[in-house]
C-alpha cells in the first residue's frame, strides 16, 4: 500500500476577478513558469500553518481568517509506493500588498494578479494533469468545491482514476 511521501498546499488568491500567480522555476529546463502560490508542508506542520507560510513567503500578503479547502488531489505511483497529496485552498481574506521583500530580508518570487482568463491559459500549459485539471475545472466553474481526485502514474503519464464529491466539503 502506498504511503504519503509528500503533502503540499496550493492556494487561489483573488482580487476581484483577478488571480494571483507566482513565477517559479519548475520546468525541466529551469525556465520560470507561472503558478498559484504553493509549497510543501514541513514535518509536523499543519496544513493551515503551511498555507499561511506559503501565502506570506510567496506574496508578502498576510492571510486573514481561514482558507476554504476546495479540492484534494492524490497522486499514486504504484511502482515506487510513493504518493503525493495536494490540498487546494481558496483564500477568503488577506491583508497587505504584494511585495518583493518580506520582513526586510527574504526576496520573494515575482508575483502579480492576472485576469481569470490569463490565469486559466497559464494553468492549461502545466504538464502535470493532477494539478492542472482539477484547478482549471474549478476556475472555469465546471465544478464547485468539495472534490477529491485520485490519479495514478501509468508509465510516465498521470491518469485520472476517479473524482469523488465529498459531502463534508460541500
Query: What is the residue whose three cell numbers read 476517479?
Result: 162
Angle at CA of residue 38, ends 89 and 40, nearest 5°: 105
Nearest residue to 63 (alpha-carbon basis) of 81, 36, 89, 83:
89
pLDDT tens for 32-89 read: 778 899 999 988 999 999 999 999 989 989 999 888 999 999 999 888 888 999 999 9
pLDDT tens for 123-168 read: 898 888 999 999 999 999 999 999 999 999 988 899 999 999 976 5
Q: What is the rounded distance in angstroms from the CA atom of residue 87 to the CA atom of residue 166?
A: 14
CATH number of the domain at 10, please. Answer: 3.90.79.10
Q: What pLDDT is stored for residue 141 in this prediction? A: 94
Joined together, the cell numbers standing for residue 30 give: 529551469
Q: What is the rounded distance in angstroms from the CA atom of residue 170 to the CA atom of residue 80?
A: 33
Number of domains in the chain: 1
Nearest residue to 13 (alpha-carbon basis) of 78, 74, 65, 49:
65
Identify the DSSP state of 50.
H
Identify the DSSP state of 122.
H
Q: What pLDDT is stored for residue 8 in this prediction? A: 95
Nearest residue to 47 (alpha-carbon basis) of 1, 87, 96:
87
| Stronger pLDDT, 27 or 74, i.e. the higher one | 74
Cβ(47)–Cβ(38) below 8 Å: no
Residues forming a β-bridge with 18? 15
Beta strands in 16-91 (DSSP E): 18-25, 32-35, 38-40, 62-63, 67-77, 82-91
pLDDT interval class at 100 (50, 70, 90): low
- Residue 111 Ramachandran class (φ > 0 left, ψ -120 to 50 alpha, else beta): beta
- Give the domain range for residue 92: 3-169
Amino acid at each position: 500500500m502506498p504511503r504519503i511521501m509528500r503533502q503540499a498546499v496550493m492556494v487561489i488568491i483573488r482580487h476581484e476577478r483577478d488571480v494571483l500567480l507566482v513565477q517559479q522555476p519548475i520546468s525541466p529546463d529551469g525556465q520560470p513558469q507561472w503558478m498559484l502560490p504553493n509549497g510543501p508542508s514541513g514535518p509536523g506542520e499543519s496544513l493551515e500553518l503551511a498555507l499561511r507560510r506559503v501565502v506570506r513567503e510567496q506574496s508578502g500578503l498576510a492571510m486573514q481568517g481561514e482558507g476554504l479547502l476546495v479540492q484534494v488531489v492524490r497522486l499514486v505511483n504504484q511502482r515506487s509506493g510513493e504518493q503525493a497529496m495536494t490540498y487546494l485552498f481558496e483564500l477568503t481574506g488577506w491583508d497587505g500588498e504584494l511585495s518583493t521583500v518580506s520582513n526586510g530580508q527574504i526576496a520573494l518570487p515575482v508575483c502579480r494578479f492576472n485576469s481569470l482568463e490569463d490565469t486559466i491559459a497559464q494553468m492549461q500549459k502545466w504538464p502535470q494533469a493532477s494539478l492542472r485539471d482539477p484547478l482549471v475545472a474549478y476556475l472555469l466553474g465546471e465544478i464547485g468545491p468539495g472534490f477529491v481526485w485520485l490519479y495514478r502514474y501509468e508509465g510516465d503519464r498521470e491518469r485520472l482514476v476517479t473524482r469523488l464529491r465529498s459531502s463534508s466539503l460541500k
